[in-house]
Amino acid sequence: MIDAYTFLPQHADPIDWDHHDAAQACARLKDSARVASHRRLSEGAEHFMPPPDLVNAINAAIASRSPLLLTGEPGTGKTQVAYYLARYFGIELFHYQVHSDSSARDLRYDFDAVAYLRDAYLTSLNLTQRRAAHRAAPDRTDRRYLHKGKLWLAYEHPGECVLLIDEIDKAPRDFPNDLLQELADYRFEHPFPPGAPIDRGNQPPPIVIVTSNGERRLPDPFLRRCIVYHIDLTPDLLGRILGAWQGEFADRLPPPVQGQALQRFLEVRERLERRAGRPPGAAEFLIWLTVLAAAGATGEQLAAPGLADLPALHCLIKDHEDYGHLA
């Protein structure tokens, strides 16, 4: 195992806390903080290199102004596409992260029921105590209880923009179909009539990117309205990812060693796929390279005869049983 985890040294004896310099130890965290900041999606857009087939799908979606549905396993760059387009065109990005309890209404707006009930209670209390008899009960349609969602903000935005609906397969089944009219007509009714409908007017419709990890099949009516592209984590794509990010590792992990790491990573994926394990994805690959670089890994260490002897293997394996598949 590589002995280069300098953030927390391995002690044979208990730490002498009376003489421990916490400030000096904390200073060593700066390098890892810098690495983490570079993995932000907004920063990653600078390194993103979409393959030609994905570029064709993006161009088709923009030409037809159809939603682009990107499918594939986590870590293949689906979400990064939206940030790349926003950076490339220099336009605003509205990112909506889907959750298991999300509804289409959440994408349009959110009604702050807690604030409304609080104000209603306080008004009732004041009236009961005869301190503010002139104060009317709060109006449920008061705009201060209404918070605009990402779809609303995108439709009101002046000029071009990108709308990202991320991991739509996490939502309840009706979520995609409940967005059909909004994504087709680029408008929806105001939640408090007679408010004017929310629409794009004469502005171009947003560039809509939808991502799915394939946890479940999406409804056919929704699929028919999308340009669909599946991103496979192929050796070519991993090579592109490595090429885009190698500047982050080149000072401590020379290109030949990076190439060797890519080859061993592909061997790990192939072994786990063949034995019904959980193969690591692109995100694990980049984390592994980061740790190898921090450790100053060498080609000799990566040339371990067995996959189970590879350094920092815990960066790639998420299921304890998969260690046995590599033995």
Average pLDDT over residues 236-263: 85
Tell me the three state secondary structure of residue 4: coil
The answer to whether residues 152 and 274 belong to one domain is no
The answer to whether residues 249 and 210 belong to one domain is no
Average pLDDT over residues 169-173: 92
- Residue 153 is predicted with a pLDDT of 94
Number of H helices, E strands in the chain: 16, 9
The answer to whether residues 223 and 204 belong to one domain is yes
Pick from 1-5, 84-88, 111-115, 132-136: least confident? 1-5
Q: What is the token pair recorded at 309?
A: 């002897």
Within 8 A by CB and 6+ apart from 293, the residues are 248, 249, 251, 252, 253
The answer to whether residues 181 and 149 belong to one domain is yes
Question: For residues 3 and 295, which has the higher predicted lDDT (pLDDT)?
Answer: 295
Average pLDDT over residues 285-293: 90
Q: How far apart are the first and last CA of the chain?
A: 16
Note the pLDDT tens digit of each residue in 185-240: 888 888 877 778 888 888 899 999 999 998 888 999 999 999 999 999 899 988 88
Domain that holds residue 70: 44-111+139-230
Asked whether the CA dihedral 60, 64, 65, 68 is positive or negative, the reply is: negative
Residue 135: pLDDT band (50, 70, 90) is low
Residue 116 within a domain: no
d(CA 229, CA 231): 6
d(CA 111, CA 131): 29
